[in-house]
Structure 1
Amino acid sequence: MSSISLATPTASCVEDAIGVISNELTETVRALDPQEVAKAAGVVLGARRIYVAGAGRSGLSLRFTAMRLMHLGLSVCVVGDTTTPAIESGDVLIIASGSGTTRGMVAIGETAKKVGAHLVVLTTDASSPLAKLADEAIIVRAAGKQQVERAASKQYAGSLFEQAVLFVGDVMFHAIWQQNQIPTDVLWRRHANLE
């Protein structure tokens, strides 16, 4: 048990948090370039298999996207899962990395490119190694986890980026779903039934 004593937030403090997070996320997602997301969606739809990777919370956010793309009937793998097969030419790897410099993610991106797979990157830094390596980069106007100054974001670490990654994935899914007019019951048949 922890010896740290933390105070329970007041309703006013919670209300402030709701305002900060919703305002920052709204501003960030409105700054997204729809062309970047559309191009990335085109690469994803042209792939034989889709792989997703990200360290920490960025990776967790991309797992949401993996599930939704599977609901569309696409073949999706999560890097690091024991059943994930080798990536090959004709596949696409989607990486989320706020800094675009996370060593493990850069190495994974380099491996994917070496075998001829396409690379889609979500990052805050258009000049980062991952963004430069990418076939398509989606630039998220959010603070990276190392940018601790409050001017970049009032939220802790890379929270805003990670929230935006989830949002971008849902935007991509929703746009593909609506563009192709797929009936909801078709998606629902692919929903997990071993629950």
Structure 2
Amino acid sequence: MKTALALIAAENATAVRALTAEGSTALDDAAAQIRDAERVFLLGAGRSGIALQFTAMRLMHLGLTVHVVGEVTAPAIGEGDVLVVASGSGSTTGIVRAAQTAVDVQAGVVAITADASSELAKLATVTILVEAARKLDRDSTVSVQYAGGLFEQTVVTIGDALFHSLWQQSGLSADDLWPRHSNLE
């Protein structure tokens, strides 16, 4: 168990170092897109979608207007909004279709993907490139974790980093955010 934990931590550290390489502005650009948007929509499939739900909750705590795509209360996206999507392959049909819809209505698109040449990356206003295996990469050259494990873990880390950066910029305290925490638990 200790070996597995150390391996996962090391892979995550490597992925984070790649995200913060000198000259990379994708994370800052994504934070600015989210900060300046009228509304933020988040969409991912499977575990990537669950990872983005973590981010949706934190952005709501910050006071942003946030919607998880597919929920019955999510309205139509429009100009001035931003869609944050995650797809390791960058080719997940529903994710690409949603990004195209966002582009069509002149909303921004922040894409988190492991494939810089993917259709999703081409549609994005900002692309956050994650150095991780995609779910169909099974040769262990990028990650020894199963399927898209490293990608999904990195999506959670990116979401928390985006939130933390925006929170620090806001000047709000933890006490300011607390009243937005769920009280229907």
TM range (shorter): over 0.9
Residue in 2 that maps onto 1:27: 14
| 1:92, distance to aligned residue in structure 2 (A) | 0.5
Distance 2:132 2:182 in 1: 33
Alignment of 1:11-22 (within 5 A): 14-22=1-9
Task: State how 1:143-182 maps to structure 2 within 5 Å.
Answer: 143-182=133-172
If you compute each CA radius of gyration, which structure gives the higher value, 1 or 2? Answer: 1
Matches within 5 A, 1:1-195: 14-33=1-20, 35-195=25-185
Structure 1 CA distance for aligned equivalents of residues 105 and 165 of structure 2: 29
CA drift at 1:116? 1.2
- TM-score, structure 1 normalization: 0.91
Structure 1 position 77, deviation (Å) = 0.1
* Distance in 1 (alpha carbons) for counterparts of 2:130 and 2:158: 9
AA aligned opposite 2:161: V
CA-CA distance at 1:35 after TM superposition:
1.5
CA apart distance, 1:155: 0.2
User: 1 CA distance for matches of 2:135 and 2:167?
Assistant: 32
Cα drift, residue 175 of structure 1: 1.0
Task: Report deviation, 1:141.
Answer: 0.8
Q: Deviations over 1:96-117 (max 9, x none)?
A: 0001011111111101111111
Distance 1:135 1:161 in 2: 20
C-alpha displacement at 1:16, in angstroms? 1.4
Aligned alpha-carbon RMSD (Å): 0.9
C-alpha separation in 1, matches of 2:165 and 2:64: 15
The alignment of Structure 1 onto Structure 2 pairs a total of residues equal to: 182
- Structure-2 residue corresponding to 1:6: none
TM-score by structure 2 length? 0.96
Shift of 1:150: 1.3
| Mapped partners of 1:121, 1:151: distance in 2 | 24
